[in-house]
Amino acid sequence: MNDNRPLTFDWLLFTLVLLLSGLGLIMLLSSSFFVAQYRFGDGYYYFTYQLRNLIIGFILMLTLARIPYQFWQKWAYPVLLTSLLLLAIVHIPGLGMANNPAKRWISLAGFSFQPSEASKLAMVIYMAYSLSRKGERVGSFVYGLLPHLIFLGVLASLILAGSDLGTAACVVAIAITMMLVAGTKFWHLGLLSLSASSFVYLSIVNVGYRMGRIKAFLDPWAYSAKEGYQIIHSFYAFASGGWLGRGPGLGQQKLFFLPEAHNDFIFSVVAEEFGLVGVAVISLVFLILVFRGLSISRTAPDFFGLYLALGCTLIVGLPAFFNMCVVTGLLPNKGLPLPFFSYGGTSLLVCFVAMGLLLNVAGQSSGGRPESSKKRNLALKASRFQAQAG
């Protein structure tokens, strides 16, 4: 921090995170108990693991909330290079761990870690640092877009090499949003989106199981025995939940009918047990969190804080949106977890770290001088205008 402003605590954001993580832990227990009992002889197996990571995540979040976010500017490149290195290590025999076609985990000393999830944080820190330094030059193709395009190409390629199209698409979407807010020219981003769409198209049509997911998305009942099985049972869960649901723990689809009920499709269990009302409440909490994050970004003391807060908000907001669209059949299945709900240590910890960084930006924003934020916003508007005009 540059002055003696008091560091305040954003209780609204903290309460939203507390609420989501608490509800997520309850739903994790409900959706995983019978599967864990069948697989491990312990119905609390997944719950215990998730609770441990939740406690670690809270400690990380509160610790990062006290560390001035400006500290991460000098660590942008080391964090980025570490992330790329970890994504490469995934493919080293003995360290990388595969699950079906996916090779996304590093296994070491009994612990598993998913570098593609952590790469979201590395990308956000790097992009926030890079965009804040470029200023009005962000509108230049050579200085504003090309370095980011090269970085995103390398990062997305390494993630895709692990058969993780969903995370790659999410990372690119977050980066594009950050560049758009910074003032990158629309036609530059149009070219980037066009080239990315072509690459995604080739990545789908040349891989059998991905093409099967597209076909199942268009007509799930035509592939009800295989690719469409999961989404059909998700539909059953939403339909049987009605307005108020069957009640906590009384869902039927999680009883070995709905695959990955405790992971990517945990929101379907929410729909069956708590109905449309429960779905609406959780969706609203996510929406409030996103709006709070955007408000923090808008009032950040500097450009690095602005972009960092925006990126951290998107780390939670975009996967939540994509996951909800997938389980309701609005998007093809991409294997993205629901933040704070789905089982998985890396995803949960990444969300807590992102919220810790956001809490620190919020603390400095709340204690900042209104005129400082106004000047910064005027400078941002001027930078955008010059970038688009140039």
User: Token pair of 324, please?
Assistant: 């909800």
Count of structural domains, the chain = 1
- Which domain range does residue 252 map to? 11-389
Report helix, strand or coil for 96. strand
**pLDDT (tens digit, 9 = 90+) per residue, 248-275?**
999 999 998 998 899 999 999 999 999 9
The answer to whether position 4 is within a domain reads no
The answer to whether position 354 is within a domain reads yes
How much is the mean pLDDT over the chain?
86
- Contact between 214 and 170 (Cβ < 8 Å): no
The answer to whether position 357 is within a domain reads yes
Better-scored residue on pLDDT, 5 or 217: 217
The answer to whether position 160 is within a domain reads yes
Which residues have C-beta within 8 Å of that of residue 315, sequence separation ≥ 6?
120, 121, 124, 174, 339, 350, 351, 354
The answer to whether position 173 is within a domain reads yes
The answer to whether position 288 is within a domain reads yes
Give 98-144 as a DSSP string.
EETTEEEEEEETTEEE-HHHHHHHHHHHHHHHHHHHHGGGGG-IIII
Amino acid at position 325, single letter: C
**SS3 sequence of 51-65:** HHHHHHHHHHHHHHC
Which residues have C-beta within 8 Å of that of residue 58, sequence separation ≥ 6?
21, 352
**pLDDT (tens digit, 9 = 90+) per residue, 150-195?**
888 889 888 888 777 888 889 989 998 999 898 888 777 777 677 6
The answer to whether position 42 is within a domain reads yes
Which residues have C-beta within 8 Å of that of residue 3, sequence separation ≥ 6?
none
The answer to whether position 2 is within a domain reads no
Which residues have C-beta within 8 Å of that of residue 159, sequence separation ≥ 6?
87, 116, 119, 167, 168, 171
* Cα dihedral 326, 332, 333, 337 sign: negative
Q: Model confidence at 226, in pLDDT bands (50, 70, 90)?
A: confident
**pLDDT (tens digit, 9 = 90+) per residue, 333-388?**
877 899 999 998 899 999 999 999 999 999 998 544 444 455 555 555 555 545 44
Closest CA to 61 of 303, 366, 340, 342: 340
Q: Give CA 194 to chain center in angstroms.
A: 23
- Provide the pLDDT for residue 97: 67
